[in-house]
Amino acid sequence: AQKITQTQPGMFVQEKEAVTLDCTYDTSDPSYGLFWYKQPSSGEMIFLIYQGSYDQQNATEGRYSLNFQKARKSANLVISASQLGDSAMYFCAMRENSGYSTLTFGKGTMLLVSP
């Protein structure tokens, strides 16, 4: 069964607008972490934001925020005031804290920001 689901293969947004990238996850582990990474066309994987399953508040990092809805098992990434440089592939990932600490990734969402 897929542990991380990103249902949007591609998203378009205009510069300066906000955009939400969807991510749902599946785990029975009560302790887990959720991550978002950005992969620009140059190929590197850049860490954006982290949310722990016991965190009471939604994580924020600058223009990035994570809309964490635990009961719905969703961890959507919100990018405010999109910039042209935000055009990239975005991956949601999860680490279950029982067992080893590796990350399981979703298939990604390609975001294109237009002027």
Partner 1 sequence: DSGVTQTPKHLITATGQRVTLRCSPRSGDLSVYWYQQSLDQGLQFLIQYYNGEERAKGNILERFSAQQFPDLHSELNLSSLELGDSALYFCASSPPMSSGANVLTFGAGSRLTVL
Q: Which of 108, 109, 111, 113 binds partner 1 (CB under 8 A)?
A: 108
Rounded (5°) CA angle 69-84-11: 45
The residue (of 15 and 29) whose beta carbon lies closer to partner 1 is 29
User: Should residue 103 be labelled a site residue for partner 1 when binding is judged by CB under 8 A?
Assistant: yes
Distance CA 37, CA 73 (A): 18
Q: What is the DSSP letter of 70?
A: T
User: Should residue 1 be labelled a site residue for partner 1 when binding is judged by CB under 8 A?
Assistant: no
User: Should residue 105 be labelled a site residue for partner 1 when binding is judged by CB under 8 A?
Assistant: yes
Tokens for 4, please give them: 């991380």
Distance CA 10, CA 95 (A): 24
User: Should residue 102 be labelled a site residue for partner 1 when binding is judged by CB under 8 A?
Assistant: yes
Interaction site with partner 1 (CB under 8 A): 33, 35, 37, 43-47, 50, 52, 91, 95, 99-108
